[in-house]
């Protein structure tokens, strides 16, 4: 992995585990990650306007792919965050929780 991918993934993880909004849609999440990443990149270099939409579209696809892999098995982003204990009022579940001993 190159450093640009590492930065994108670091930003992705930061936003994934710090829920600013309790009911955040997938599109809102992707937009926040892409915008934050582009802010970091444009602070270092200039992106020609001709390529900005294509770059943004590619980044959105990449973030969506990362999100799908990360939350696999959960209904949506909010269900993942609740299971991880990220949302206020939710507790992280351990494997023994939810299991009934007979």
Tell me: pLDDT of 102 over 60: no
Distance CA 56, CA 51 (A): 9
| Confidence grade of residue 98 (pLDDT, cut at 50, 70, 90) | very low
pLDDT: which is higher, 41 or 95: 41
pLDDT: which is higher, 95 or 21: 21
Of the chain, the percentage scoring pLDDT greater than 70 comes to 78
- Tens digit of pLDDT for each residue in 50-65? 999 999 999 999 999 9
Domain extents for the chain?
3-84
CA 11 to chain centre: 8
Q: Which two tokens stand for residue 58?
A: 């590619």
Q: Which two tokens stand for residue 63?
A: 């973030």
Q: Which two tokens stand for residue 60?
A: 């959105």
Average pLDDT, the chain: 83
Q: Taking a C-beta distance cutoff of 8 angstroms, is the pair 87, 81 a contact?
A: yes
Of 35-39, 46-50, 67-71, the range with the lowest mean pLDDT is: 46-50
């Amino acid at each position: 992995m190159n450093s640009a991918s590492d930065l994108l993934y670091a930003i992705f993880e930061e936003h994934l585990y710090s829920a600013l909004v309790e009911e955040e849609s997938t599109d809102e999440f992707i937009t926040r990650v892409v915008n934050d990443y582009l802010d970091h990149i444009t602070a270092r270099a200039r992106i020609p306007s001709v390529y900005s939409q294509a770059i943004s579209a590619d980044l959105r696809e990449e973030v969506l792919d990362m999100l799908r892999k990360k939350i696999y098995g959960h209904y949506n982003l909010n269900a993942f965050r609740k299971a991880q204990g990220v949302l206020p009022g939710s507790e992280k579940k351990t494997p023994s929780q939810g299991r009934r001993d007979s």
